[in-house]
Amino acid sequence: MEITERSLSTLIHGMGFGALYLLACSGALVELYRRYSPAEANPLAPGDENFLKVYLVAMSVLAWLTVFTGAYIIYPWYRAAAPVGAVNLAAFPQRLLLSNAATSGWHSLGMEWKEHVAWLAPISITMAAAVVIRYGRNLRNHPQLRAAVLCFTLVSFLAAGIAGFFGAMLVKNAPVEGGRNLHLMHGE
């Protein structure tokens, strides 16, 4: 069982950071909605509150790691220019997708959207983390602030979902391959 270095990097970017961020979004939305509702009568324990702050900071770190690894490690491999006259485009995913009308949309719509919309996620969740750190339980006194933070968190979820969906489809149609082969285990 082998995996190339570039495949492993793509896996860390998509599954390690991106998918984990998407999973974390639902928890953040539920907790932001539930804990800081003005109608919520239950007291907030400091430990509980600190947990959410750490959770949102961890989400911000994950979101930034996802976009930076995507833009500065994976994307250059994806958009690498093929030599003139190259017939085998397997090492040039963007060129491979654009070479066929049946797959070109995965680049012209999918990658073109994904590469930009993904950045809304770290901006939004960093803002949410900063507001929760600054206000904490005081958010119960600021329903408009809480509503705005929830909207931004929801959009960050949506943006990460769009990027994740197209990332998965791009890998399916034109995987980023190359680099050394890493042996994971020997077959029978």
Partner 1 sequence: MKKLELSTSTVLPNGSGAAAILSAGIGAFMVGFLAVAADKSAFLKNLFIFYKPTGPLSGVTTSAILVWLIAWGILEGRWRNRTVALGRISAVALVLLGLSLLLTFPPVADFF
Tokens of 68: 């930076």
Read off the tokens for 143. Answer: 């329903």
Nearest distance from C-beta of residue 119 to partner 1, angstroms: 5
3-state secondary structure 23-61: HHHHHHHHHHHHHCCCCCCCCCCHHHHHHHHHHHHHHHH
Binding track, positions 56-95, relative to partner 1; x by CB under 8 A: -----------x---xx--xx--x----------------
Q: What three-state secondary structure class fits 182?
A: strand
Residue closer to partner 1 by CB (options 2, 76) is 76
CA distances from 171 to 26, 101, 184 (A): 25, 17, 20
User: Closer CB to partner 1, residue 15 or residue 109?
Assistant: 109
Return residues touching partner 1 (CB under 8 A).
43-46, 67, 71-72, 75-76, 79, 108-109, 112-113, 115-117, 119-120, 123-124, 126-127, 130-131, 134-135, 137-138, 140-142, 144-145, 147-149, 151-152, 155, 158-159
